[in-house]
Amino acid sequence: MSDAAARPVVSDRVWTIPNVLSALRLVLVPVFFVFIVVGNDLAALIVIIVSTVSDWADGVIARRFGQITKLGQLLDPAADRLFIMAAVIGLAVREVVPWWLVAVIIGRDVFLVVLGVVLAQHRFGPLPVHHIGKTATFALFYALPTLVLGQAFPAVAAVSDPIGWAFALWGAFLYWWAGLLYLRQTRALIRQHPLDSGDASDTLARRRATDG
């Protein structure tokens, strides 16, 4: 089977079940943030559980029923990152996590935005997501709710807090590791295709082999 045949079809559709679920997750972000800040940890935990289940469901539906869309590829990671940001800022406001962790996580996302601007100036699209970046997002996405669990149920904090912090620190490390890999890819692409060469691709799909 060729790579083209194995690659899933990505459509321009907007109204799909996975996109609706992703939009729902985005709507839940401010709700989750308010619950965290005011200290309603049980409600915040319920919201994050609903979000996690919907995240799993939209991925399964998109793959099984051929509903992978360009919009969904934007909404899904956006919802993940916003939940992470909402959790870490909310917990920092309550002094559950230090502000340096906020700076580490948000600083990396700002760093990627800068790389995106540089790539756009050279007529490249977004970089393909690296598996280390996916692992980092997974670790952070589950680390912060685990810390919330300890706040909601103090009886389990002795177990949940160390697990949450282990995921948080490992996730933050991988987050920046992936960021440095994206920097390496960006530099390689720009060196191979200077802006004045006139042959820079408008997407990165054709350049996946640059970094293996």
Number of Cβ within 10 Å of residue 24's Cβ equals 14
The answer for residues whose C-beta is within 8 angstroms of residue 181's C-beta and 6 or more apart is: 130, 132, 133, 211
d(CA 207, CA 127): 9
Q: What is the pLDDT of residue 192?
A: 84
d(CA 161, CA 122): 44
CA distances from 173 to 140, 177, 208 (A): 10, 6, 24
The residue whose two tokens read 């965290």 is 36
The residue whose two tokens read 């995921």 is 167
The answer to whether 185 and 112 have CB atoms below 8 angstroms apart is no
The answer for residues whose C-beta is within 8 angstroms of residue 148's C-beta and 6 or more apart is: 36, 41, 44, 45, 48, 87, 91
Mean pLDDT by 10 residues, the chain (212 residues): 57 82 91 92 90 85 82 82 89 92 92 88 79 88 88 92 94 93 90 61 43 41
Q: What is the pLDDT of residue 201?
A: 43
Of the candidates 120, 121, 90, 124, the one whose C-alpha atom is nearest the C-alpha of residue 105 is 90
Q: What is the pLDDT of residue 6?
A: 53
d(CA 106, CA 89): 9
CA distances from 23 to 19, 36, 54, 89, 118 (A): 6, 20, 10, 21, 28
Q: What's the one-letter identity of residue 141?
A: F
pTM for this predicted structure: 0.78
Give just the sign of the alpha carbon dihedral 190, 192, 194, 198. negative
Q: What is the pLDDT of residue 10?
A: 75
Kindly state the tokens that stand for 11.
Answer: 């459509």
> Can you tell me whether residue 7 is helix, strand or coil?
coil
